A and B are shown apart, each in its own frame.
Chain A
Amino acid sequence: MSEETPIPLKTRMIMLGISCLVTLACAEGLVRFVDGGAMPMIHLFEATDDDSVRLEPGSEMQIIRVGKEPWTLAISEAGFREASTDAPAPGTGRWLVVGDSQVMGNGVEASEAFPAQARVAGQAMVNAGVPGFGVADAIQRAEALLDQLQPAGVVVIINQMNDWDETEALVGSRYVVRGGWLLDAEDAATARSDFLASPLSRSHLFFLVGQLALRDWSAPPPDVPLWMSDPQRQSATTLTIARAVQAFSARNPALHIVPAYLPADLYASEERKGDSPLTPHLGAVDTPPWTDSRLRDATMKALTGLDPVDLTPVLAGHAEHFLTHDYHLSPSGHAAVAAQIVAHIAKRPEGQP
């Protein structure tokens, strides 16, 4: 009977090491196959020198949509959301839209976002939306682009869902960029932040493991927003927002500026109860959100003297105008918003800013 030659320990270790590497590669491939090569969060952010953030010009990624095909986020070399990174610079004379993720078109393709669908004088609007922006950030970005784009007008989206919580500081103070990911500033010194700053976070496998392992499962649910629980005491914040737009208009008297009020999803439709992140807070309000126009009325009144448009009528009663499991506008919601903005602009006598 022959005896087997024992495998040296060193050889066993090498074989184990190779096996581990092959396993990691196969596991990474398996996760990428399942998620379609998409990540669940945007990692294209860059910090800028003016206490702001931007989406990295010339960058592109696929982002997961639960239960559906991923959507593509592509930023042109000029720094605007386009269908592809090599889209040409927008040129001058087009309308400009500034605001947050609703403007950028979170969850929809570039061609479905309302700036691309809103055509004035035969030209689509320039999409300068950046997730995380408040109204002050949006106006700051608009003013930085005026010389370059010489826009025919500027639409400033006032987003009920976020903007009343974002007047205290610019986006660069409220958030930090780590490894291209945007994190709350209060999370800047956490293990999760360190992980996201490392190259490991670009691995789909390690990102999944990291999110599960580093998530604070004991964290309490978010508090009810003050603008939701006590809209009548938001006058100071509402005035801050309105005055920012008024000051922007005063600095650019020849420019047609259209502030557009975008309601939170649950304030547009009762049928959003199953999907809205505001649903857990329903017990904290005295008026059903879908019937509560207090914040909207106060905002439109504060914007008197400008040329505001209220987007609530085209969204009211249409739960389908918002994404499933997400408060952002759906393709049909973007289409409705685009049509309303274009119709509103068309009402203004020609030649009058």
Chain B
Amino acid sequence: MSENKRVIPYWALPFVIGIGGTIALILLAEQLPALQVIYTVF
């Protein structure tokens, strides 16, 4: 019987998705000109 091998354990999925998403969010916030407004102080 062959084993069903997982690339990423289920308990690590939140970490992979979460950190990957956070990095994408940071890169997005720094690149899009419109988002620079977020970083405009009051």
Contact = CB atoms under 8 A, between A and B. Distances in A.
Contact of B14 (A16, A106, A211): A16
A279 interface: no
A208 interface: yes
Contacts of A132: 42
A63 B35 CA distance: 16
A12 B11 CA distance: 8
- Secondary structure at the A interface, as helix, strand, loop or mixed, is helix
Given A20-B14, A22-B15, A208-B29, A40 B38 contact: yes
Chain A contact-residue range equals 35 or more
A131 B40 CA distance: 13
Interface string A34-78: 100000111000000000000000000001101000000000000
Contacts of A66: 36, 39
A212 B25 contact: yes
Given A41-B42, A101-B42, A16 B10 contact: yes
Nearest to B23: A30
Given A16-B14, A19-B14, A26-B19, A106 B42 contact: yes
B7 interface: no
B36 A325 contact: yes
A306 interface: no
B22 A19 contact: no
B22 A40 contact: no
A212 B10 CA distance: 29
B41 A30 contact: no
A42 B10 CA distance: 40
Nearest to A325: B36
Contact of A24 (B18, B40, B41): B18
A26 B15 contact: yes
Contacts of B22: 27, 30-31, 205
Contact of B25 (A12, A23, A208): A208
A286 B38 CA distance: 31
A169 interface: no
A34 to B, nearest CB: 5
Nearest to A15: B11
A182 interface: yes
Contacts of B29: 208, 212
Interface of B: 10-15, 17-19, 21-23, 25-26, 28-29, 34-36, 38-42
17 contacts: A16-B10, A23-B14, A23-B15, A27-B22, A40-B38, A40-B39, A40-B41, A41-B42, A63-B41, A101-B42, A106-B41, A131-B42, A208-B25, A212-B25, A212-B28, A217-B34, A325-B36
Interface of A: 12, 15-16, 18-20, 22-24, 26-27, 30-31, 34, 40-42, 63-64, 66, 101, 106-107, 131-132, 182, 205, 208-209, 211-212, 215, 217, 325-326, 328
Given A19-B15, A131-B42, 15 more contacts: A19-B11, A20-B18, A23-B15, A30-B26, A40-B39, A40-B40, A40-B41, A41-B42, A42-B41, A101-B41, A106-B42, A212-B35, A325-B36, A326-B40, A326-B41
